[in-house]
Structure 1
Amino acid sequence: MNLFIQIFINGILQGGFYIIIALGLTLTWGILNIPNLTHGTFIILGGYITWYLYNKFHIDPLLNLPIVVSVMFILGYVLQRGLINLVIKAPKFNTLLLTFGLNILITNIIQLIFSTKSHIINPIYANKSIIFGHFLFPEIKLIAFFMGIFLAIGMWFFLLHTKLGCSIRATPQNLIIARFCGINPRHLYAITFAISTGISGIAGAFYGMIFQINPYIGPMLTTKSFIISSIGGLNNPINIIFGAILLGIVESLTTLYIGPTFTDLFSFGILVLILSFRPNGLMGKAT
């Protein structure tokens, strides 16, 4: 019984980390309706930047988060404003092709700069756990869990209760009225994409402290983000909390009772099952 509870706890904490991974994609896909295939590679790039700052300049990974977010924010703004905005009104297939090409380009740049070796960001607290009763709570996963909850609630408040957030939600719904209200859609799209990319940088920092990073795992993270976003529903960032925690629990229980080889199978299985009965996601509005 204790083993089951421990695995369940691990799943919840893993889900908290998954919140950070999926949150950026939810912003671009759910709000801007841009299927961003570079999302996972942005996460890995954020991880490499964090690893470099930690190993080269000995800056604690949590303390260098503002630097990582700033670098990723600028990169996201430049890519969206200068490149992706060119096909923003084109069919979605064009956006998919463009972001697919960007994904390959960025992956090769990462490989060129950092090589193909796997790296892990290993501060002291990454290997420590808090013992509560008979159960272990890894410190880094606890931090990631609370960071994920904080970011999801913060994004919800930002989108619903700030002028910029309301503009971000309103502009894709009616571009003409947005222009009449004095909103610059190109700038707004770029800001939104940049925020998403900045959050991906945070996800990369935590990924590098929990797992090993290498240039080729970006597509896997993009896929997992799509699963979480689809399960939770795209109409509210809070929904990502439920989708991420559910996926974390399912993966942990699958690993315990069936084996780690089948975690992806069950992840896609639960996605198909939920979307068969709830096309807008588990927490989305029923149709």
Structure 2
Amino acid sequence: MKKKVILTIVVVILLIISIVFWSITVSPITYTVRKVTIKDEKIPSQLDDVTIAFFTDTHIGMFTDQKRFSKMIKVIEDLHPDVVIFGGDLFDHPAKNIPSHPDINEVINKLKHIEAPLGKFAVFGNHDLEDETSKELIISIYKESDFELLINTSRKLHNKGSQFIYLVGIDSMILGNPNIEEAFQNTDDSTYIISVCHTPDIADEASIYSNYLFAGHSHGGQIYIPIISSFLNIPGAKKYMKGSYKINDMTLDVSNGLGTTRYDARFLSDSEVVLYTLKHKEK
């Protein structure tokens, strides 16, 4: 009996050590692709099979170095998406950890190298808005790397034809100035609307107008412990922290993101790029 107890304790200890080792050394640098199909009658046939790669929260700096960032970019490039959308937080606390000019140039070159025939878009994250210098830096990087920054505004997504859906970018709830009415003012509910916001708790307001919302910010908890992590009090992701939610007639999908912050570890919250495929649904 005593031997069984000792054996059980040893096994538990080894399991804990294995989990900690994996969470610290493997999980943060293992980038997965999560595939999601968005099917709706309002998605026009001309956009059938159009793919959208959504990535967020790279947090270049403290833990994400240029080698890691290159791996992230390669995952996106290997998908050959039609559209690429970045959900914010490019650098990790850039107001405090000021990126060097060589790092900035490398980031621009890597982002610019991503090909997306139907467009590359981005929204602000809270780290991007820590001070005016950081904000201007991010604006400059997006401009030089051919990403269109969407701040409370909309764009039409076409695919070699007149049919389209709307893409709406909403400013971050943290340090930003989200304005739902302004963001959706040039859209109409007869057309499918995909919206993007760094902070998922904007969902209740966005659901009035939007059909689908992409968000990030929470890192899926980063260290996610079932039940316990649901009580995490993350500003901007207090209500919606991880996974997919149905809110009124809108779907919210919260990505785990790619990078890490505060501590370089992940558990049950894989670093990910989300690849969405649009599908026209017959009535």
TM-score (norm 2): 0.25
The higher radius of gyration belongs to 2
Higher helix share: 1
| TM-score, structure 1 as length reference | 0.25
Whichever structure has more strand as a proportion of its residues is 2
